[in-house]
Amino acid sequence: MTDKLWGGRFTQKAAQWVDQFGASIGFDQQMAQEDLEGSLAHVAMLGQQGIIPAADAATITAGLHQLQTKLAAGELHFTVANEDIHLNMEKLLTDLIGPVAGKLHTARSRNDQVATDFHLWLKHRLPELLTALTDLQTVLVEKAEAHAGTLMPGYTHLQHAQPITYGHYLMAYFEMFQRDYERFSFNQRHTDMLPLGAAALAGTTFPIDREFVAAQLGFDSLYHNSLDAVSDRDFALEFLSNAAILMQHLSRLAEELILWCTYEFNYIEMADSFATGSSIMPQKKNADFAELTRGKTGRVYGALMGLLTTMKSLPLAYNKDMQEDKEPVFDAYTTVLGSVHIFTGMLESLTVHAQKMHDATVNDFSNATELADYLATKGVPFRQAHAIVGELVLKGLQTHTALQDMPLADLQAAAPQIEADVYAELAPEAAVNRRTSLGGTAVANVQREVSRAKAIIADR
Active site residues: 157, 278
Phi, psi of 173 (to 5 degrees): -70, -35
317 near ligand ARG (CB under 6 A): no
Q: DSSP for 42-59?
A: HHHHHHHTTSS-HHHHHH
Phi, psi of 78 (to 5 degrees): -100, 150
Contacts of ligand ARG in 380-409 (CB under 6 A):
none
Q: Which stretch binds ligand ARG (CB under 6 A): 70-78, 108-116, 397-405, 433-441?
A: 108-116
Of 199, 303, 322, 392, the residue at the interface with ligand ARG (CB under 6 A) is 322
User: Closest separation between CB of residue 2 and ligand ARG, Å?
Assistant: 15
The alpha-helical segments, DSSP class H, found in 73-103 are 85-97
Q: Which stretch binds ligand ARG (CB under 6 A): 65-73, 246-254, 286-294, 320-328?
A: 320-328
Of 110, 119, 147, 168, the residue at the interface with ligand ARG (CB under 6 A) is 110
State how far the Cα of 43 lies from the Cα of 199, in Å rounded to an integer: 14
CB 275 within 8 A of CB 287: yes
User: Closest separation between CB of residue 87 and ligand ARG, Å?
Assistant: 8
User: Closest separation between CB of residue 67 and ligand ARG, Å?
Assistant: 18
State how far the Cα of 441 lies from the Cα of 154, in Å rounded to an integer: 10
User: Closest separation between CB of residue 23 and ligand ARG, Å?
Assistant: 8
Q: Which is nearer to ligand ARG, 30 or 61 (CB)?
A: 30
User: Closest separation between CB of residue 217 and ligand ARG, Å?
Assistant: 18
Total H helices, total E strands in the chain: 19, 6
119 near ligand ARG (CB under 6 A): no
Q: Using CB under 6 A as the criterion, what x/- string covers residues 129-168 for binding ligand ARG?
A: ----------------------------------------
Using CA atoms in the order 252, 345, 121, 30, what is the torsion angle rounded to 10 degrees?
A: 100
**DSSP type of residue 265:** T
State how far the Cα of 435 lies from the Cα of 445, in Å rounded to an integer: 9
Contacts of ligand ARG in 78-107 (CB under 6 A):
84
323 near ligand ARG (CB under 6 A): yes
Q: Which is nearer to ligand ARG, 78 or 166 (CB)?
A: 78
Q: Chain centroid to CA 460: how far?
A: 18
112: Cβ contacts below 8 Å, ≥ 6 apart: 195, 196, 197, 198, 199, 200, 229, 230
State how far the Cα of 326 lies from the Cα of 344, in Å rounded to an integer: 27
320 near ligand ARG (CB under 6 A): yes
Give the CA radius of gyration of the chain: 31
How many residues bind ligand ARG, per CB under 6 A? 10
24 near ligand ARG (CB under 6 A): yes
229 near ligand ARG (CB under 6 A): no
Q: Using CB under 6 A as the criterion, what x/- string covers residues 38-77 for binding ligand ARG?
A: ----------------------------------------
Q: Which is nearer to ligand ARG, 10 or 382 (CB)?
A: 10
Using CA atoms in the order 103, 109, 114, 117, what is the torsion angle rounded to 10 degrees?
A: -40
State how far the Cα of 366 lies from the Cα of 155, in Å rounded to an integer: 10
User: Closest separation between CB of residue 56 and ligand ARG, Å?
Assistant: 24
111 near ligand ARG (CB under 6 A): yes
User: Closest separation between CB of residue 111 and ligand ARG, Å?
Assistant: 5
| Angle 120-75-121 from CA coordinates, rounded to 5° | 10
318 near ligand ARG (CB under 6 A): yes
Q: Which is nearer to ligand ARG, 288 or 324 (CB)?
A: 324
232 near ligand ARG (CB under 6 A): no
Q: How many angstroms separate the most distant Cα atoms in the chain? A: 101
CB 46 within 8 A of CB 52: yes
State how far the Cα of 434 lies from the Cα of 443, in Å rounded to an integer: 9
Binding site for ligand ARG (CB under 6 A): 24, 28, 84, 110-111, 114, 318, 320, 322-323
